A and B are shown apart, each in its own frame.
Chain A
């Protein structure tokens, strides 16, 4: 059995009767990067906050580095946390925040903190309330890394920030993973970043965990195929391949996203006739959208003009 950095066991949480998390179970092994994706309100932040014992679950329990943070709060000595809007002491200067970190964390590395804050150009004598959101995120990351973490929990830290900073942020986190074997649990909407960095990916929707797999395994099980077909053949394909997640049709060009074993799918398609199926690359974003649609997520803009309705018309699979 793999050693687990995070062991989430049957977690449920509701807010005033509204279910935010519904019996979530997932494990993250040591030393890997696990991305958590899902639409807004899916429960990603709630799950990460429960991991940090900021929120308490209604049911189930979480172990970080083999300990339940609720009963062993000292386990957080080795867990760095960066949230989307880092809460800090507004009256403190940046250097005072670092001083506080050094007083609360036993493994605080002052030299590393100095190096990182100089690399991130954090103004030591400026008050926290005068910092921009991006600068606060940088500060939170410096603090999270200065504790010499074995686990980093990042809750959409780069949401709404510029691409340069996002790249810089990701690079620092990846260096940490490569250099120190730190485990990273990372919630984000940016699937391109995740595709570059993640070993595992989990997807939440409406408080339910849709999947949680190694990224390669997940991408290996989803395929995008394009072929030339007529109406009759579309029906045949739909009857023989029930695992189609998403389908688009543009004239005779029929494009499907399908889940399953590729040789078997290819064999079925070849048996149905000469469609000249061509497998094309499927990005993580496309895979994510297809899986979300399969789960019933189907956001549509409230359109009023007929012309616009026509533009957004979809071909049902």
Chain B
């Protein structure tokens, strides 16, 4: 049987098995943009509002519906982020809980299993956005003129879809290392915060040793913040022309508050397609890594390579790192001294932790022996 037929079978299987999840995703993502207006129209069509006046209101509020929110991005995008992560996490952990042994015993390779899941999840996200965009564009065609062009809506849709798929591939990657969906979800959120955490550390170094005024730190923080999902979708970290609309530029992401359109410059200002290309490359990178890890991680460990197998060790190293970092930063006045202090503190605290855990273990053995 050729590879295409296998992928077709796996794609069918994923949709059959996860169709309800994808359907729920569609409802949650498109709720505010599609269903709410339809329900609202149905409820008020016999009242004072006519269909045309309702369309006008909806079209005028479209940008509000699509974009702003308390978290820097709109409910639709936010829900899309949550669903993209949920798809990646649930597709694999659901399989682990019941049927992975069956699937692995069929003539399907582990690469094909992961690629099949990726294709199913990505197609679901793509499909959700396609339906949504088609309906919005149709509404813009027949509705009144609003300050959002069809090109802008299309570009926005492509960017958001690719960013969702990128996040989905990240959560799929993390799921290959985790036993169940709860751990995979938490680990994905941790991984997503890594650029922000790295940015914070880099900012501290920059402010402490090189640029007390904090200009360099701000730049680092902006870039790192942009690499986090909220920053990615909202462009939060990138300097913006506040409260201005650059009507001539088609390369802005639609964000803002109170219905205002802000011209938020993407990472490569004026090169919006490059941003999409970069996201696609990162997606492929995550997918390749997921395939490699799924192939390497023994199936009997149910993906606990990172989260369970060495959890205590990882936790000790993480806490040691944080304490050593803070202590070294307080003690050092130059970068070289900081590095020296950091190594010393790290080694000392790590040894203390290990001795402490050994002592606890010994205490438990004695307690057990005395029974």
* Partner pick for B1 among A56, A77, A81, A89, CB 8 A cutoff: A77
The bracket for how many chain B residues form the interface is 20 to 34
Which of A26-34, A68-76, A116-124, A193-201 faces chain B?
A68-76
Complex CA gap A53/B13 in Å reads 21
In the complex, the answer to whether A55 meets B300 with C-beta atoms within 8 Å is yes
A15 within 8 A of B: yes
B39 within 8 A of A: no
A104 within 8 A of B: yes
In the complex, the answer to whether B9 meets A104 with C-beta atoms within 8 Å is yes
In the complex, the answer to whether B101 meets A54 with C-beta atoms within 8 Å is yes
In the complex, the answer to whether A73 meets B100 with C-beta atoms within 8 Å is no
Q: How many A-B residue pairs have CB under 8 A?
A: 69
Residues of chain B within 8 A of A74, CB atoms compared: 1, 107
In the complex, the answer to whether B98 meets A89 with C-beta atoms within 8 Å is yes
Complex CA gap A86/B10 in Å reads 19
A253 within 8 A of B: no
In the complex, the answer to whether A88 meets B105 with C-beta atoms within 8 Å is no
Residues of chain B within 8 A of A105, CB atoms compared: 1, 106-107
In the complex, the answer to whether A87 meets B9 with C-beta atoms within 8 Å is no
Within 8 A of B (CB), among A39-82: 49, 52-56, 73-77, 81
In the complex, the answer to whether A100 meets B9 with C-beta atoms within 8 Å is yes
Residues of chain B within 8 A of A260, CB atoms compared: none
Residues of chain A within 8 A of B100, CB atoms compared: 87
B71 within 8 A of A: no
In the complex, the answer to whether B104 meets A54 with C-beta atoms within 8 Å is yes
* Partner pick for A104 among B6, B16, B101, B300, CB 8 A cutoff: B6
Interface size on A, residues (CB 8 A): 27
Complex CA gap A100/B5 in Å reads 12
Residues of chain B within 8 A of A88, CB atoms compared: 98-99, 102
Contact with A along B122-141 (1 / 0, CB 8 A): 00000000000000000000
A273 within 8 A of B: no
Contact with B along A188-227 (1 / 0, CB 8 A): 0000000000000000000000000000000000000000
* Partner pick for A73 among B13, B101, B109, B299, CB 8 A cutoff: B109
* Partner pick for B5 among A52, A55, A76, A103, CB 8 A cutoff: A103
* Partner pick for B102 among A49, A75, A86, A91, CB 8 A cutoff: A86
In the complex, the answer to whether A96 meets B16 with C-beta atoms within 8 Å is yes
Complex CA gap A155/B77 in Å reads 48
Residues of chain B within 8 A of A83, CB atoms compared: 101
Nearest-neighbour CB distance to chain B for A65, whole angstroms, equals 12
Contact with A along B165-207 (1 / 0, CB 8 A): 0000000000000000000000000000000000000000000
In the complex, the answer to whether B1 meets A106 with C-beta atoms within 8 Å is yes
B318 within 8 A of A: no
B298 within 8 A of A: yes
Residues of chain B within 8 A of A77, CB atoms compared: 1, 107
Residues of chain B within 8 A of A81, CB atoms compared: 105
Residues of chain B within 8 A of A288, CB atoms compared: none
In the complex, the answer to whether A54 meets B99 with C-beta atoms within 8 Å is no
Contact with A along B269-305 (1 / 0, CB 8 A): 0000000000000000000000000000011100000
In the complex, the answer to whether A90 meets B98 with C-beta atoms within 8 Å is yes
In the complex, the answer to whether A52 meets B105 with C-beta atoms within 8 Å is yes
Residues of chain A within 8 A of B5, CB atoms compared: 103, 106
Residues of chain A within 8 A of B101, CB atoms compared: 49, 54, 83, 87
In the complex, the answer to whether B299 meets A55 with C-beta atoms within 8 Å is yes
Contacts A100-B9, A103-B9, A103-B12 known; A91 to B17 CB distance under 8 Å?
yes
Complex CA gap A77/B2 in Å reads 12
Complex CA gap A74/B101 in Å reads 16
In the complex, the answer to whether B107 meets A75 with C-beta atoms within 8 Å is yes
Contact with A along B285-329 (1 / 0, CB 8 A): 000000000000011100000000000000000000000000000
Complex CA gap A104/B14 in Å reads 13
Contacts A55-B298, A87-B100, A92-B16 known; A76 to B8 CB distance under 8 Å?
no
Chain B: residues with CB nearer than 8 A to chain A?
A: 1, 5-6, 8-10, 12-13, 16-17, 98-102, 104-109, 298-300
Excluding A73-B107, A87-B102, A89-B16, 8 further A-B contacts by CB distance (< 8 Å) are A77-B107, A88-B102, A89-B17, A89-B98, A89-B99, A90-B98, A100-B9, A100-B16
Chain A: residues with CB nearer than 8 A to chain B?
A: 15, 49, 52-56, 73-77, 81, 83, 86-92, 96, 100, 103-106
